[in-house]
Amino acid sequence: MSFLSDYKKLLFSTPKQALTQWNCENSDYNVWANHSKNSYMTRGSGWMKDCFYLYWVYHALDVSDCAYCERIELCYECVDCNRCYNCDFCQDCKDSNDLVYSYDCTGCKNCLGCIGLVKKEFCVFNEQKTKEEYEAILKNKNSTQIVSAFEDLKSKIPHRDFILKSENCVGNHIENSQNCFYCFDTVRSRDGIYNFNGYENIDSVDCSFAKEELSYERVGGGWNFNCDYGLFLMNCVDCKFCFQLQDCKNCFGCDALHHKRFCILNKEYSEEEYFKKTAEIWAELKNSIEAGDLMSVFEDSEYAGIEH
């Protein structure tokens, strides 16, 4: 059988983890979560405490129903917010506290229904109020009317691309990065192309939901170096065509291995045999139209059988 056929057989025969966690306590029903405590129903998040219903949120305390946020506390229904405290129904707000229904506000506090403000306090729909006026409006607010007025104001103010503190970057929601082309939701990365949800990616291409260096076509996991065509890898080096590996090095076409080296299709070889056989496999793949796509050996109905 060819390598791709053997690899397909291995993926179907190897049990898959339902939930993957690292260093979590009392955090059932979380997937791809790390270093968290007392959290529930989160995905792709870490360093949380007393949180639930989060997606791609890091360093959170007492937070619920938020996504794509970092370093937030006592927040609810927020998206793409960083370093915020006690904010509800906010999007793309930074370094702020006590905001309600706000968008693209930086360094603000005690604002309601505001958009695009910087270092403002006691504002309602971008209009300055006194502390007493603001508290009275907040106390008697009507949520339906606020949402309607907020969306109307939001449609009238130009939106920026949210490329912040970055150099030579193209995409959106890029922060503290350099030389990133068509990257989205990327933080502290450099020299990358076509990356999505990248966290400190370096010299990587086509990587999503991962922290990588010198990697190509990777999805899920992190802290990997020179890994290509892989899904859900953690702390791996020089691994190709691999699935749900942890702390492995020089593995090719493997699934569900931990702390292994020089393995091909989950079988261990000597270092010399490993490089000889992988060279033969690469020669085979170069002549295959399916090479370069880890999941191309599956029909749509078959792929559903191996995904998490």
Please identify which residue in the block is written with the tokens 């260093």: 23
**What pLDDT is attached to residue 294?**
52
267/176 Cα distance (integer angstroms): 42
Rounded percentage of the chain residues whose pLDDT exceeds 70: 93
The phi, psi pair for 259, rounded to 5°, reads 55, 50
As a whole number, the mean pLDDT across the chain is 91
**What confidence tens digit (pLDDT) does each residue in 157-182 have?**
988 888 989 999 999 999 999 999 99
Side-chain-facing half-sphere of 254: CA atoms under 13 Å: 30
Number of helices (H), then strands (E), belonging to the chain: the values are 5, 24
- Do 185 and 166 touch, CB atoms closer than 8 A? no
188/46 Cα distance (integer angstroms): 17
**What confidence tens digit (pLDDT) does each residue in 196-249 have?**
988 899 999 999 988 999 999 999 888 999 999 999 899 999 999 999 999 999
The phi, psi pair for 39, rounded to 5°, reads -120, 155
Sign for the CA dihedral angle at 259, 252, 24, 211 comes to positive
- Do 42 and 52 touch, CB atoms closer than 8 A? yes
pTM for this predicted structure = 0.81
40/113 Cα distance (integer angstroms): 30
5/134 Cα distance (integer angstroms): 66
Bridge partners of residue 291, in order along the sequence? none
**What confidence tens digit (pLDDT) does each residue in 62-114 have?**
999 999 999 999 999 999 999 999 999 999 999 999 999 999 999 999 999 99
Helix, strand, coil shares of the chain, percent, nearest 5, are 20, 45, 40
With 60 as the cut, is the pLDDT of residue 14 above it? yes
